[in-house]
Structure 1
Amino acid sequence: MNKDYFLNRVRLRHIQCFVAVAQERNLGKAAERLNLSQPAVSKTLVELEQMADTVLVKRGRFGARLTPDGELLLSYCVSMLEALEGAQRSLSRGFSGSQESVSVGALPTVAPDLLPAALADFRVQYPQARLQVQVATNNLLLEKLKAGEVDFAVGRMAEPQMMVGVSFEFLYAEPLIAVVRVDHPLLNAAGATLLSEVVAHPLVVSAAGTVPRHNTETYLKERGMHLPEHRLETLAVSVARLVVLQSDAVWFTPAGAARDDLQRGLLAVLPLSFEGTEEPVGLLYRSEAPLNAPGQGLIRILRNTNRRKEGALTFNAPEKPARRR
């Protein structure tokens, strides 16, 4: 790349177009968002690629995906637009930092455990700030983070190529557990709970492609078993918990997703060993993008919330409830 050529020729419209394509993952949708024709978006993108002397976006039937060079450029472009937007807000009449917004992403299994208490504290400290929570799989969270759709996320580490331009701050390690309703037949059975008895019941598991699903499949495979056909696959924690509360289903889930129901005595942990299934959960944020004051405040609150939760609940086998008469 000719540095001087790139710096002298690149314009704001190139940056805006590139970021729109990265966020929408589709040239047509990016064109609608920018109020341009699709050929105009394509032409602007080609101009940027010529100036950068590299392919930034792969176009295809299934949309537009960034190349590794595109991923590298995106973090700088997003930071540039955010800086300009911040300058515009600060110059606006009557601007106050308390009116800033924060968008946080979170895994489905992490959001109900860590976020509610933190968001309540955040509202007390930043009563005028606008707050948005986006729940998604880890890969999608990383895409949203790098595209500037969320300011930071609570998620997991990923493959090195997915972590380009992203920093990870460890919060805690979360094990897999198997939970059932408190009067489930497996808890009333005499003797140890056998895994073969567990998988004979309907199972609730995370969707394919997620870390909890991979850990569940690995856990069973290491013990000579496979996921049965009679299973429910879902990312929705609210659906999973209600199914388990209202049936004999067994839910294989990261511990945090069931923490509140376990503390309330609505669900119970099956006495199975899940040693070695722990997965790190932490804060993901763009390495070169400083957060605004409310964003920094929410991260600080999340750290404190996590410390308060440490050791608040152990996942030991529960006492067996009395048999129904």
Structure 2
Amino acid sequence: MPLDLIRRGLKIAHLRLFAELSRKNRLSDAADALRIAQPAASRLIAETESLAGAKLYSRSGRGIELTPAGRQLAYRSVRILQEISDAGRDIDHHVSGQSGHVSIGSVTGPAIEYVLPALRHIRLSYPDISISVEVAPSRALSPMLINGKLDFSLSRIPVGEDALQFEERPLLREPASIIGRPDHPLTRRTFPIPSGALLEFDWVLPPVGAPIRTTAEQELRNKGLQLPDRILTTSSFLFMLATIQRTNAIGPVAQSVAESFAAGSDGTPGTIVILPSDLPLSVETYSFLTRKGQALTPVAQIVAREVLRAIDGRDPQGV
């Protein structure tokens, strides 16, 4: 018969403590976060072990170390508390109408091509909805989504991440382009530029393992070419863009991003140019991701619907 922790007396206070212990390895730090005395935290952790009938932690030189059973309880505690928090948000939103806050995560390409236009529409149609957007690589967005800091994301499940933690709706494969500064020497070459000519210049790339870097490296190998001799690695898109604008360095970015910076909204030349080449570049499909079992709040459903409408041009169902 399954262990029934609720019937045995498990309380929210026990869940809150183990949720904090998933983030902190000292019982005193967890107690401070919950604004309770350390003896009270010690009593809660002892009660939880008694209810579970299992060893949930051990002491080490670094403080508290959760056992496998303890880590599983901590993981579930975070999710349960997030769902309770979401339930409170649901009630608030139903009481107040179409208002509230939504947190979106996105990799760079869809953020510029789809999220930005959707936000313009939402701002006009739903002025009482506030939105924050976290633009980052998928590996940075994944834990934010799991921990409830994001309502949904347009990103990929990172390699090595447990896909069962997510609800995934594949969307689009992302084309990419090589970019350089407007008066770059390669602009004087006949298009498409041979791949070998691209290797004569410094490259700016995201860290090893990033989808666009992996794709560029693989396509160069497919053409029998070595990787660039001089590579500047940065996780900052802003620093990448500034480097390309001010030097002869080049780099691959999502095509939607390249087009956004290559021309102004009025058609005037932008701060970079696209360098058409014979190097075929595209990045693996990104998806609409939520936590497994998560129910989007009413305002998050509105925002998700508008973002997906911007992507596929129709009113998506089942969001």
Which band: TM-score by shorter chain?
0.7 to 0.9
What is the CA deviation profile of residues 224-268 of structure 1, one whole-angstrom value per residue up to 9, with x for unaligned ones? 31243x332223323322322222110122323323123544333
**Aligned letter for 1:215?**
T
SS at match of 1:98: coil
SS at match of 1:300: helix
- Asked whether the 8 Å contact 2:114–2:310 carries over to 1, the reply is yes
- Asked whether the 8 Å contact 1:76–1:288 carries over to 2, the reply is no
**Aligned letter for 1:130?**
S
1:165 equivalent to 2:179? Answer no
User: What's 1:272 paired with?
Assistant: 277
User: What's 1:96 paired with?
Assistant: 96
User: What's 1:155 paired with?
Assistant: 155
**Aligned letter for 1:147?**
N
User: What's 2:226 paired with?
Assistant: 225
SS at match of 1:175: strand
User: What's 1:323 paired with?
Assistant: none
What CA distance in whole angstroms lies between the structure 2 residues aligned with 1:179 and 1:63?
49
What is the CA deviation profile of residues 192-229 of structure 1, one whole-angstrom value per residue up to 9, with x for unaligned ones? 6333331221211112342223223333344331243x
Gaps of at least 5 residues in structure 1 are: 310-325
**How many angstroms does 1:301 deviate by?**
0.8
What CA distance in whole angstroms lies between the structure 2 residues aligned with 1:236 and 1:183?
23
Gaps of at least 5 residues in structure 2 are: 315-319
- Asked whether the 8 Å contact 2:205–2:233 carries over to 1, the reply is yes
What CA distance in whole angstroms lies between the structure 1 residues aligned with 2:63 and 2:244?
36
- Asked whether the 8 Å contact 2:93–2:298 carries over to 1, the reply is no
Q: TM-score, normalised by structure 1?
A: 0.76
Matched positions, count? 303
User: What's 1:79 paired with?
Assistant: 83
SS at match of 1:3: coil
**Aligned letter for 1:300?**
R
Compared CA separation, residues 112 and 64, structure 1 to 2 (3 A):
farther
SS at match of 2:79: helix
SS at match of 1:278: strand
**Aligned letter for 1:173?**
R
**How many angstroms does 1:186 deviate by?**
1.0
Compared CA separation, residues 215 and 38, structure 1 to 2 (3 A):
farther
User: What's 2:317 paired with?
Assistant: none
Q: Which moved more, 1:147-156 or 1:170-179?
A: 170-179
1:142 equivalent to 2:142? Answer yes
SS at match of 2:4: helix
User: What's 2:248 paired with?
Assistant: 248
**How many angstroms does 1:12 deviate by?**
0.8
Q: Which moved more, 1:121-130 or 1:12-21?
A: 12-21
What is the CA deviation profile of residues 139-172 of structure 1, one whole-angstrom value per residue up to 9, with x for unaligned ones? 2312111111111111113347422231111221
**Aligned letter for 2:257?**
A
2:306 to 298, 301, 322: 301
Q: Which moved more, 1:251-260 or 1:265-274?
A: 265-274
What CA distance in whole angstroms lies between the structure 2 residues aligned with 1:58 and 1:210?
37
SS at match of 1:224: coil
Compared CA separation, residues 52 and 220, structure 1 to 2 (3 A):
farther
